[in-house]
């Protein structure tokens, strides 16, 4: 019985480690993408771009895995859920931007009003 408890703790610790590792690499890759001297002429620069997409997605998956763990209770579950929403925010804003661009390209500026309303609502929800 003691072995199963330690195995349970190891898996929970491993989930936390995965989440923090992917989040750290996400921050590093995005920082290099914005503040690095990338020319996109070498394959290493494109590898950084791939990492800037891959690591946030993996961090979001790890946060979802940890948030749905039944062993987390109370403030830890709230912390992980908040972290998951924080990780999902850039994806939501990028998706809204793509939808707005597509609507503008197809229908003109008037059709983008719902997209901007969605962005404003999303930012107002974050303020709370």
Q: How confident is the model over 60-82, as pLDDT tens digits?
A: 998 888 888 888 888 888 888 88
Range from 2-11, 41-50, 51-60, 102-111 carrying the lowest mean pLDDT: 2-11
Give pTM, 2 decimals.
0.68
How confident is the model over 18-32, as a mean pLDDT?
Answer: 90
Handedness of CA 6, 83, 91, 55 (dihedral sign): negative
Instruction: Give 76: exposed, middle or buried? Use CB within 10 Å, 0-12, 13-18, 19+.
Output: middle
Checking 37-45 for CB contacts under 8 A at 24+ apart, the result is none
Per-residue confidence band for 33, with pLDDT thresholds at 50, 70 and 90: confident
For 19, 33, 96, 102, 111, the CA distances from 106, given in Å and listed in that order, are: 39, 31, 15, 6, 9
- d(CA 99, CA 112) in angstroms, rounded, equals 8
Per-residue confidence band for 37, with pLDDT thresholds at 50, 70 and 90: confident
User: How confident is the model at residue 1, as a pLDDT?
Assistant: 46
Contact 59, 19 (CB under 8 A): yes
Quick count: other Cβ atoms within 10 Å of Cβ 9?
Answer: 11
């Amino acid at each position: 019985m003691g072995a199963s408890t330690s195995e349970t703790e190891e898996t929970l610790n491993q989930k936390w480690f995965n989440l923090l590792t992917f989040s750290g690499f996400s921050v590093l890759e995005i920082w290099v993408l914005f503040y690095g001297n990338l020319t996109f002429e070498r394959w290493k620069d494109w590898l950084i771009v791939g990492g800037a997409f891959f690591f946030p997605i993996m961090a979001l998956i790890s946060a979802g895995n940890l948030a749905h763990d039944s062993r987390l209770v109370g403030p830890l579950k709230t912390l992980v859920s908040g972290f998951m929403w924080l990780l999902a925010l850039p994806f939501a804003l990028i998706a809204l931007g793509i939808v707005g661009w597509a609507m503008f390209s197809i229908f003109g500026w008037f059709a983008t009003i719902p997209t901007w309303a969605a962005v404003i609502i999303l930012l107002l929800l974050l303020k709370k």
